């Protein structure tokens, strides 16, 4: 890849602006390191020579243009073609960037994408070959005063760089054990020993010692015995194949022997995984009715932090969908200018527009990163979560609406869903579908379903606005009571005279359902639970009920 034009530009470095909510855009020099896996960010920090860095391995995706909440809010001054977003794995925040020109942005987007694919395709041996270059670069950046020695503070910085979240007491214990000179600095072989101890797996060493005996070397016969003890029908030929694939020492490999490092390489590889590799792709029967599956669901999806005063964000929906969730929650409340908002009512959490949430769901409902299986619809029999899958998850997404809006803004919600989601939104029962059975995930591929309250059909009651009970609030009752009590304590004594105090109350007609919103609820009709006996004798497949945990425990106890 070093001959690649995009990689060459990244190795030379580019001035990119970091777009943040606080303060103006800050220009930094971003440069790819020689290891091809680390990007250094230079300049503008408290110390003149200070650097920050991140690993390409920690990037989950690259988005071009204004495709993040941050860039949509704060990047309007920069052309979309100059902008891109790095989405990191785990809880790390997105990095929104703007290049000086379109060409620079394109080089970084294309180059990072190529490096991510290359690193993902690397074998363990290739990754091991990269390790010395990578760790050397990390050590250089962590050594702040460039004296080739590492204080404990610098060691903690190194641990953060390599994404190791270690208890300070334990880290210092290792540090002191390796500091043979006693000068509170690690250098040379002391530092090498510290890194080696980080990689130790005592339980695997013990296992290796048990099977290898006094010579601490596994023969092909001993490896076969180990495999058979794990329940595998292993032959001597299979054991030799494993040794030739994973053993790092060439001399040992030629003699069909395995050392500890090779043994650990095998156990920590995909081949040594307890998971059946056939299950890394969708292998379940996806043609059963919808209610035959455990569905990966998200509660209070919009929150990025705590549910009292945390931040609401469309990025939270993106992350949930990318993680494989197929059911996300929208708590909908009256907003200003006739626009419904999503947030945790009766709290100080921030608000986001319902419209923006639906746009994010449209863009990411059927995209998942590798590692999330059927997305994840898991059949009840032999339930098992798929750990990886193709880039696209076609299985349906359910929008669980907790509605606190009045009739007018309910109609607005329905209009937004129809306009933004288009054909993705299911608004009619599937043609030819037996009304006594729910359709399957296979039949609902690519569809977005709305879960909410529905007006009675014309033959049941006169059509029009109807007041319905609040089934989905049942599961919220205990939580809301606690939240209201806590938030009232927090805001007491605060100036609350602004128009924004409307967040304390839901719309007066929120207990009613607008015909427009009712019309988009098809297979997931929220109803009060009629009781187990009634539900069993009068099954209605399109109806569903929610329970508080207290109610669920009560039902289990009384009628389990």
Say whether the peptide bond before residue 295 is cis (omega within 30 degrees of 0).
no
Residue 175: pLDDT above 70? yes
Residue 438: pLDDT above 70? yes
Measured CA angle at 410 (ends 408, 416), to 5 deg: 105
- Band of residue 341 on the pLDDT scale cut at 50, 70, 90: very high
Question: CATH number for the domain including 230?
Answer: 1.10.238.10
> pLDDT averaged over the chain?
83
User: For residues 545 and 529, is the Cβ–Cβ distance under 8 A?
Assistant: yes
Higher pLDDT, 446 or 123: 446
Residues tagged active-site: 299, 344
- Domain contains 500: no
Higher pLDDT, 96 or 137: 96
Q: What is the mean pLDDT of residues 471-476?
A: 47
Q: Read off the pTM.
A: 0.71
Residue 503: pLDDT above 70? no
Higher pLDDT, 1 or 530: 530
Q: Within this chain, do residues 270 and 416 fall inside the same structural domain, yes or no?
A: no
Minimum mean pLDDT range among 219-228, 314-323, 422-431: 314-323
Q: How far is CA 371 from the centre of its chain?
A: 10
- Band of residue 460 on the pLDDT scale cut at 50, 70, 90: low
Q: Within this chain, do residues 262 and 309 fall inside the same structural domain, yes or no?
A: no
Q: Within this chain, do residues 28 and 47 fall inside the same structural domain, yes or no?
A: yes
pLDDT tens digit string along 103-113? 999 999 999 99
Q: Within this chain, do residues 317 and 211 fall inside the same structural domain, yes or no?
A: no
Q: Within this chain, do residues 156 and 224 fall inside the same structural domain, yes or no?
A: no
Q: What is the mean pLDDT of residues 363-374?
A: 62
Q: What is the mean pLDDT of residues 336-344?
A: 95
- Domain contains 548: no
Minimum mean pLDDT range among 190-204, 494-508, 525-539: 494-508
Q: What is the pLDDT of residue 164?
A: 80
Q: Within this chain, do residues 302 and 398 fall inside the same structural domain, yes or no?
A: yes
- Domain contains 537: no
Q: What is the mean pLDDT of residues 472-489?
A: 49
Q: What is the pLDDT of residue 391?
A: 47
Q: Within this chain, do residues 444 and 316 fall inside the same structural domain, yes or no?
A: yes
Residue 213 Ramachandran class (φ > 0 left, ψ -120 to 50 alpha, else beta): left
Measured CA angle at 422 (ends 418, 427), to 5 deg: 60
Q: What is the pLDDT of residue 458?
A: 67
Q: What is the mean pLDDT of residues 134-150?
A: 79
Q: Within this chain, do residues 433 and 313 fall inside the same structural domain, yes or no?
A: yes
- Domain contains 30: yes
Q: What is the pLDDT of residue 300?
A: 94
Q: Of the spans 303-312, 374-383, 394-403, which averages the highest pLDDT? A: 394-403
- Domain contains 280: no
Q: Within this chain, do residues 175 and 262 fall inside the same structural domain, yes or no?
A: no
What phi, psi does 14 have (nearest 5°)? -140, 145
Residue 369: pLDDT above 70? no
Q: What is the pLDDT of residue 255?
A: 95
Q: What is the pLDDT of residue 178?
A: 94
- Band of residue 158 on the pLDDT scale cut at 50, 70, 90: confident
Residue 135 is part of which domain span?
124-199
Considering 121, 149, 168, which residue would you say is the last residue of a domain?
Answer: 121
Q: Of the spans 136-140, 219-223, 374-378, 390-394, which averages the highest pLDDT? A: 219-223
Cα–Cα distance between 491 and 481 in angstroms, integer?
16
Residue 256: pLDDT above 50? yes
- Report CA dihedral (295, 296, 298, 304) to the nearest 10 degrees: -170
- Domain contains 117: yes
Tokens coding 74: 């704060």
Q: What is the pLDDT of residue 26?
A: 84
Q: Within this chain, do residues 136 and 162 fall inside the same structural domain, yes or no?
A: yes
- Domain contains 217: yes
Higher pLDDT, 418 or 470: 418
For residue 15, what is the DSSP state? E
- Domain contains 228: yes
Considering 199, 231, 261, which residue would you say is the last residue of a domain?
Answer: 199
DSSP per-residue letters across 170-212: HHHHHHHHH-TT-SS-B-THHHHHHHHHHT--HHHHHHHHHHH
Question: CATH number for the domain including 307?
Answer: 3.20.20.190
Q: What is the mean pLDDT of residues 8-16?
A: 94
Q: Within this chain, do residues 399 and 306 fall inside the same structural domain, yes or no?
A: yes
Residue 31: pLDDT above 80? yes
Q: How many domains, in total, are found in the chain?
A: 4
Q: Within this chain, do residues 190 and 84 fall inside the same structural domain, yes or no?
A: no
Q: What is the pLDDT of residue 48?
A: 44
Higher pLDDT, 56 or 426: 426
Cα–Cα distance between 78 and 100 in angstroms, integer?
9
User: For residues 370 and 388, is the Cβ–Cβ distance under 8 A?
Assistant: yes
Question: CATH number for the domain including 51?
Answer: 2.30.29.30
Q: In the chain, pLDDT over 90 holds for what percent of residues?
A: 51
Q: In the chain, pLDDT over 70 holds for what percent of residues?
A: 83
pLDDT tens digit string along 382-429? 333 333 333 457 899 999 999 999 999 999 999 999 999 999 999 999
Q: Which residues pair with 398 in a beta bridge?
A: 327, 449
Considering 181, 199, 217, which residue would you say is the last residue of a domain?
Answer: 199
């Amino acid at each position: 890849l070093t001959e690649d034009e995009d990689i060459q530009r990244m190795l030379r470095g580019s001035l990119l602006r970091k777009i943040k909510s606080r303060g103006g855009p800050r220009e930094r020099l971003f440069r790819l390191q020689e290891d091809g896996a680390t990007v250094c960010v230079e300049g503008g920090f408290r110390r003149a020579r200070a650097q920050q860095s991140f690993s390409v391995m920690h990037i989950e995706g690259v988005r071009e243009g204004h495709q993040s909440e941050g860039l949509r809010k704060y990047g309007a001054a920069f052309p979309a073609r100059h902008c891109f977003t790095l989405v990191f794995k785990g809880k790390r925040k997105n990095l929104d960037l703007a290049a000086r020109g379109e060409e620079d942005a394109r080089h970084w987007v294309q180059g990072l994408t190529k490096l991510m694919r290359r690193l993902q395709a690397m074998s363990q041996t290739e990754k091991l070959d990269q390790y010395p270059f990578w760790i050397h670069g990390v050590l250089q950046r962590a050594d702040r005063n460039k004296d080739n020695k590492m204080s404990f503070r610098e060691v903690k910085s190194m641990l953060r760089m390599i994404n190791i979240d270690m208890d300070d007491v334990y880290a210092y214990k290792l540090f002191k054990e390796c500091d043979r000179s006693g000068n509170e600095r690690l250098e040379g072989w002391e530092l090498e020993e510290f890194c080696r101890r980080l990689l130790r797996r005592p339980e695997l060493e013990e296992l290796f010692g048990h099977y290898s005996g006094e010579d601490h070397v596994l023969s092909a016969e001993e490896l076969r015995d180990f495999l058979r003890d794990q329940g595998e029908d292993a032959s001597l030929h299979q054991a030799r194949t494993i040794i030739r694939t994973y053993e790092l020492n060439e001399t040992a490999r030629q003699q069909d022997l395995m050392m500890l490092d090779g043994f650990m390489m095998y156990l920590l590889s995909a081949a040594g995984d307890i998971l059946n590799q056939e299950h890394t792709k969708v292998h379940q029967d996806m043609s059963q009715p919808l209610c035959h599956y455990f569905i990966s669901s998200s509660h209070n999806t919009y929150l990025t932090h705590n549910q009292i005063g945390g931040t609401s964000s469309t990025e939270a929906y993106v992350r949930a969908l990318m993680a494989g969730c197929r059911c996300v929650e929208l708590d909908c409340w009256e907003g200003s200018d006739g626009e419904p908002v999503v947030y945790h009512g009766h709290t100080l959490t921030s608000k986001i527009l319902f419209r923006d949430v639906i746009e994010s769901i449209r863009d990411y409902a059927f995209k998942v990163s590798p590692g999330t299986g059927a997305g994840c619809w898991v059949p009840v029999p032999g339930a098992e979560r798929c750990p990886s899958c193709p880039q696209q998850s076609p299985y349906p997404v359910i929008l669980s609406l907790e509605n606190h809006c009045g009739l007018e803004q309910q109609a607005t919600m329905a209009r937004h869903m129809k306009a933004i989601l288009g054909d993705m939104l299911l608004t009619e029962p599937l043609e030819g579908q037996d009304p006594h059975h729910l359709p399957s995930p296979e039949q609902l591929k690519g569809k977005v379903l709305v879960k909410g309250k529905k007006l009675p059909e014309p033959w049941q009651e006169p059509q029009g606005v109807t007041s319905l009970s609040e089934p989905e609030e049942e599961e919220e009752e205990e939580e809301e009571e606690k939240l209201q009590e806590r938030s009232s304590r927090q805001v007491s004594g605060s100036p609350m005279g602004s128009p924004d105090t409307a967040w304390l109350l839901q719309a007066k007609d929120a207990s009613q359902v607008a015909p427009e919103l009712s019309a988009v609820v098809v297979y997931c009709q929220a109803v009060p639970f009629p009781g187990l006996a009634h539900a069993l004798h009068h099954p209605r497949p399109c109806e569903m009920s929610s329970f508080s945990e207290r109610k669920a425990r009560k039902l289990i106890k009384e009628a389990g």
